[in-house]
Structure 1
Amino acid sequence: MVASLYVLPHRKPSGNVEVCGLHPIRAGVRIRGQQARCAEARSILLMKYLVAILAWLMPVVAWLSNSGLFGPTNRVISDAYPTLIVAAGYAFSIWGPIFVLDLIYGTWQWLDRTHDARLQHARPWTALAFAMTSLWMVVFALEWFWLALVVIWVSLGALLVAAWHVSHTTRHARARWWQWVPLSLHAGWVSLAVFLNVAQVVVAFRLLLVTHMLPWTLVLFAAAAMLVFWTISRLRGNPWYVLAVIWGLLGVYVKQHGSALAGADDAAWTALALAVATLLWSLWCRPFRQQSLDGDRAGG
């Protein structure tokens, strides 16, 4: 796909020549410009391969992690450090659709031959997010909780930037479905997972009271609400991001509603209320409402 540029010494190119094996250009284009195009094409190609490889790597690492290769499984660790913000076990099955959609994204972007500037901008952030997702599964199983906390926050930041590039925002319409659906769903789930990780670090190192966790858990719920609501407004009510968030919050409600921990009932109802608020806020931020408001302003 990427071919080297061949120019005879001491002769000026005449007619049309081919740069990087991609596009013919007319004579007179400087060699430096041609080399820059070659370098850019190679960079794009390498990033395509990197994203595809990392997308396929995630489910492999997940399978190895669940087999106990790196250490205790996530469920074992979660049971060892119980919190008021953890979701029911079934909620974590969302990783199945996330991995499948990420595989579709990774494979499709590798095969895609269109010049998509937004996809190119999203690729480095997507690669970082996928790499951090795999790394988190390893370090969390090893119970390196502080490192896992840093890794998952980096993953979230990269996912939010990547999702913004391909979602419907105030600056651009959403990209093709295989770009914005996978990244939005992944970002939505991790937006809650980061706060679960914070809670587990608090419990593991007893940074705060573990016999009466409700006060600081409510602070985590408030922080999660601010992050989620801000992201929803930036992504204009992105339904796939919202779906992952609500799925996680309902999982927290189910888990805590049947928990014997002190304050679990209050945490359960808080999660349920936050799920309802998330749905309402997403409807408020939907593009059709924004267009209506813009129309009213224009008419006024």
Structure 2
Amino acid sequence: MGLVVLALVQLAAPPVISALGGGAFTTADRAGEPAIVPAGYAFSIWLVIELLSLLWALWAAVPSGPDPDLRERIARPLTVVFAGFTAWLVAAELEPRWATFAVFLVMLAGLLAATRIALREAARIRAWSGYGQALLWGTLGLYLGWSSVAIWLNLTTALVASGAPLDGSAGLLGQLAVLAGATATAVALLRWTGVLLPYLGAVVWALAGAMLGARGAGEPVLAFGAAVGLVVVIVAALGMRRRGSHLRWAGPGRRRLAEG
């Protein structure tokens, strides 16, 4: 039940912090942020992630459910992730530069660990109900997909807050480099997960948000860079699919990739 409690706290923390007068760092479209930070609407994905996390935690907590040992193994790193989300919100109020980035790194490590376990045990998971599979792969895919792009944007925000240039050639090249890093990370994780559909969806959502955010900030070059990243990810996913790396939730190559 510990995971359920953390999932509930994860869901309740944002409105509570906002009600207490916080949330300035997490306010969408705030002044002075890098142009590649996604448009405000894109952050609505967090509510979907939080709700899926809670539904998964509730499903996994049922004693009569399948493979209790496997559910427990997946839950361990997810406790770090769910607790990390709330810690990130607290860090955003206390030290919103490098502390948030450090917490995000820990969360990403937990997501990779949980996903690795699920990929290794994909054959056992296929015996679960469709609902259970959808909750697991949906939670892992959306959470990992958004986080694997957002951590790069969090890094950009930390660098800018620490004095890195936001404008001019240096600022432009720096943000293009961040977009390239996010794109490369997404393609690598797409291959690792066997083109996990929720992962792909979250990455597309994040890069599309970055493109619209840059366009809204009056930065056409950065908007084009985000669009290129978006196209690269989609083309890579289609190429992997043609090579047989895709099924309903994760591809047939997932166990080999996870163990490699």
**Under TM normalisation by the shorter chain, which class is it?**
0.7 to 0.9
Local SS of the residue matching 2:36? coil
Please, which of 210, 215, 221 is the counterpart of residue 166 of structure 2?
A: 210
Amino acid at match of 2:209: G
Local SS of the residue matching 1:83? coil
In the TM superposition, structure 1's runs of 4+ consecutive aligned residues that sit over 4 Å from their partners are: none
Which residue does the alignment assign to 1:284? 239
Residue 157 of structure 1, CA deviation: 1.4
Q: CA RMSD in A?
A: 2.2
Which residue does the alignment assign to 1:221? 179
1:35-66 deviation digits (Å, cap 9, x = unpaired): xxxxxxxxxxxxxx211111111011111233
Identity in percent: 25
Which residue does the alignment assign to 1:239? 197
Q: Does 1:162 align with 2:162?
A: no
CA contact (8 A) 2:166 2:172 kept: no
Residue 195 of structure 1, CA deviation: 1.0
State the aligned residue count: 237
Amino acid at match of 1:133: F
Residue 214 of structure 1, CA deviation: 1.0
Please, which of 13, 32, 37 is the counterpart of residue 81 of structure 1?
A: 32
CA distance in 2, matches of 1:144, 1:84: 18
Equivalences for residues 170-181 of structure 1 within 5 A: 172-173=122-123, 175=125, 176-181=133-138
Which residue does the alignment assign to 1:95? 46
Please, which of 67, 73, 76 is the counterpart of residue 124 of structure 1?
A: 76
Q: Does 1:256 align with 2:208?
A: no
1:250-298 deviation digits (Å, cap 9, x = unpaired): 11111111213xxx2111111112112112212233397148xx9xxxx
CA distance in 2, matches of 1:136, 1:219: 24
5+ residue gaps, structure 2: 126-132, 247-251, 253-260
1:5-45 deviation digits (Å, cap 9, x = unpaired): xxxxxxxxxxxxxxxxxxxxxxxxxxxxxxxxxxxxxxxxx
Distance verdict in 2 for CA 1:226–1:203, change over 3 Å: same
Q: Does 1:105 align with 2:63?
A: no
Distance verdict in 2 for CA 1:290–1:58, change over 3 Å: closer
Amino acid at match of 1:205: S
Distance verdict in 2 for CA 1:148–1:73, change over 3 Å: closer
Q: Does 1:267 align with 2:218?
A: no
CA distance in 1, matches of 2:51, 2:143: 11
Distance verdict in 2 for CA 1:81–1:154, change over 3 Å: farther
Structure with greater contact order relative to length (CA < 8 Å, sep ≥ 6): 2
CA distance in 1, matches of 2:10, 2:242: 33
Local SS of the residue matching 1:229? helix
5+ residue gaps, structure 1: 1-48, 295-300
CA distance in 2, matches of 1:138, 1:101: 22
Distance verdict in 2 for CA 1:288–1:174, change over 3 Å: farther
1:56-95 deviation digits (Å, cap 9, x = unpaired): 110111112333544525126x624320320000111111
Amino acid at match of 1:192: V
CA distance in 2, matches of 1:126, 1:94: 18
CA contact (8 A) 1:152 1:194 kept: yes
CA distance in 1, matches of 2:209, 2:114: 26
The TM-score normalised by the length of structure 1 is 0.73
Q: Does 1:137 align with 2:89?
A: yes
Residue 222 of structure 1, CA deviation: 1.6
CA contact (8 A) 1:65 1:141 kept: no
Please, which of 100, 104, 109 is the counterpart of residue 152 of structure 1?
A: 104
Residue 179 of structure 1, CA deviation: 1.2
Residue 166 of structure 1, CA deviation: 2.2
Q: Which moved more, 1:78-87 or 1:127-136?
A: 78-87
CA distance in 1, matches of 2:155, 2:161: 10
CA contact (8 A) 1:87 1:249 kept: yes
Residue 174 of structure 1, CA deviation: 7.8
Q: Which has the higher helix share?
A: 2
CA contact (8 A) 1:236 1:282 kept: no
CA distance in 1, matches of 2:16, 2:55: 21
CA contact (8 A) 1:239 1:282 kept: no
